[in-house]
Copies of this chain bind each other. A is one copy, B any other.
Amino acid sequence: MADKIRVGIIGAGRIGKVHAESIAYHIPEAEVVTVSDPFVNADIEKFMKNLGVKKVTKDYKEIINDKDIDVVLICSPTNTHSQYSIEAANAGKHIFCEKPIDMDIDKIKETIKAVEKAGVKFQVGFNRRFDHNFLKVKGLVKEGKVGDIHVVRITSRDPAAPPAEYVKGSGGMFMDMTIHDFDMARYLSGSEVEEVFAYGTVLVDPAIGAAGDIDTAVVTLKFANGALGIIENSRQAVYGYDQRVEVFGNKGAVEVSNDRQSSAVLSTKEGVASEKPLYFFLERYMESFTEEKKQFFAAIKNNTAPPVGALDGLKPVLIAKAALKSVKEGRPVKISEIDK
């Protein structure tokens, strides 16, 4: 391995750019050497060149086959994640894969097998675990400050609904959006979800319903340790990205509220006004995108387990499938019904 960890990024869409930028600006211990995207254009080329990326190509094989590349970041569409992961594993590369690994459980399991066989590091992009607020909650929970956990509550609302076009290919709200919250529920509770009951409905945009998806949900969870969980989702909170959690236990409760651009409070005849939450995930979670990779690179350097492993990629997909089944069948669904 060279002095700097050498990274190839497959997929130069929004999240691919985020990763390229955060490595270039914030992670001196790594460098992006190649970026691939079948739809490479002049804009992408310019963007990547400005960050110091040497090669931009249409062919992801140029990353898989490059012996000088240590790590592959998979930022391509979900339906390619498992294939690229397996190819990268077979080529002996460490893998950082965006969530979800796949929507098909068998494919995820195949991926896990390939990774294990190759003995490479594998991390899933559940970036929120690295957010300053949620880290603090987790830290206090681990210190025992709230005692035994009784309830985990997650409020997670996007600022604006995606177009119905996007929704069609997204795998549905539970797989596309709630997946982060399922991960957060496991992370904060320190326990596995055993059963799910979900109400899902269309209150934001009928076009989303027409596309076969939901845009509003209340999901309740039963954890293996006896605790209960709640996830509130909406595709549209007009006041901004609403990202809060609370963990309640027998010794107390900890909650985090939304981040804002400033703490300014303006008091006038009309009332007392403060800032809206940061608009969306790029504004809200930028630092976590850096932190998750820093820890991944450290796991590679120190040959330790990455903080979010392959199983952490599988579990939320199982929960998402159970939640969808619950909405469809109007009953609580056990995870064991999904993962037989």
Contact = CB atoms under 8 A, between A and B. Distances in A.
A127 interface: no
A230 interface: yes
A222 B239 contact: no
Contacts of A253: 237, 239, 242, 266-267
A188 B269 CA distance: 21
A265 B137 CA distance: 9
A177 interface: no
Copies of this chain, tallied across the complex: 4
A236 interface: yes
Contacts of A264: 133, 136-137, 140, 254-256
A41 interface: no
Given A28-B25, A201-B228, A331-B332, A239 B269 contact: yes
Most buried by B among A226, A232, A257, A259: A232
Given A135-B262, A238-B269, A252-B238, A232 B28 contact: no
Interface residues of A, number: 72
A interface SS class: mixed
A272 B239 contact: yes
Interface in A152-193: 153, 157
B236 A250 contact: yes
A251 interface: yes
Interface in A281-340: 330-332
A65 interface: no
